[in-house]
Amino acid sequence: MAYPVIVEDAERVATITLAATVNPGDVLGYNSGWVKADANGIYYAQWVAMAHGESGQRIKACKKCVCYDEDAPYTADTVVYLSETAGAFTETRPTTAGSLMQVLGKTIDTKRTYIEIKNAEEWDVMITPDTYDTTGEPGLGVADAGWVGPQIDGAETVYFKGRLPEGLVGSVVIAKVVLNSIGASAADLDFDLVGGFDGASNVQDTGTGIDTTDWAETDADNILLTVDVSAAFDAGFWLPGRNFTLLMDPDGVTGDVTVLGLHLVGLKV
């Protein structure tokens, strides 16, 4: 017979209100209420249900525990991940493109799995311009006051390429291009984004284009300027493991700026 999971040695316990039917040992995420977590739906695991409950009911849930299953379905000493099956954890790393990679714990033996759910944390990265650009010094850049990078005016383009973390959750926190001003003013900047998952189309998603934008700071020489490009990384684009290229295509810049990098901040588990 199939035995129910028993939650033992629970720590960091809270009472939560459900928005779905759950059973003991189900891992829970938030989707307009507490539901079964799902690596495919990007409802990342935040709690383990300690009891059966239905939508609207309140149950105890924990962040840390041992899940005991008399059916002995586990392999001893094996890492477990959030599953693409809602509410479950699995010893198999999810393989579907765009699925969330969240490590939940490790098996102890064939009947027991230790779960410790950690809170999401910020990740922070600065991506320097790609070696390909259409400036007067392609791939080399220039130096100004110690700052080095492609130097652009209104007729030159620069690219950034990167990959979003496979543990990515939530929405973009910061996405901005950082520039060094060399007497720059009157900016008219366009940005285009393209992305795709491994093995998928190379134009799978193009985010949200940004046209005729300017830097946030007042025009001045010898300061660091920033351009908010977070709108390009919309909810449909901001997914785990997505490769991307961002094109900066100025329609106009009076004077010059040195392009230093693309600053990204988000949340991951």
Beta-sheet pairing, 58-68 with 6-17: antiparallel
Topology (CATH level 3) of domain 121-268: Jelly Rolls (2.60.120)
Query: What backbone phi and psi angles, to 5 degrees, belong to 230?
Result: -65, -30
Name residue 49's amino acid.
A
Check whether 1 has a pLDDT greater than 60. no
Q: Going by C-beta distance under 8 Å and a sequence separation of 6 or more, which residues neighbour residue 256?
A: 151, 152, 153, 182, 183, 184
SS3 215: coil
Please give the structure tokens belonging to residue 246: 């961002």
Query: What digits encode the pLDDT tens for the residues 160-215?
Result: 999 999 999 999 999 999 999 999 999 999 999 999 999 999 999 999 999 999 99
Residue where the block lists tokens 């998928």: 200
Q: What pLDDT sits at residue 139?
A: 84
Burial class of residue 236, CB neighbours in 10 A (0-12, 13-18, 19+): exposed
Provide the residue ranges of all domains of the chain, joining segments of one domain with +. 6-116, 121-268
Query: What backbone phi and psi angles, to 5 degrees, belong to 80?
Result: -120, 145
SS3 245: strand
Average pLDDT of every residue of the chain: 95
Query: What digits encode the pLDDT tens for the residues 118-161?
Result: 999 999 999 999 999 998 888 888 999 999 999 988 788 999 99
C-alpha 124/C-alpha 116 separation (Å) is 24
C-alpha 134/C-alpha 128 separation (Å) is 15
**Cα distances (angstroms) measured from residue 248 to each of 120, 129, 135, 156, 200:** 31, 10, 12, 9, 24
Q: Which residues share a beta bridge with 264?
A: 125, 175
Whether the model pTM is above 0.85: yes
Query: What backbone phi and psi angles, to 5 degrees, belong to 99?
Result: -75, 150
Query: What digits encode the pLDDT tens for the residues 233-254?
Result: 999 999 999 999 999 999 989 9
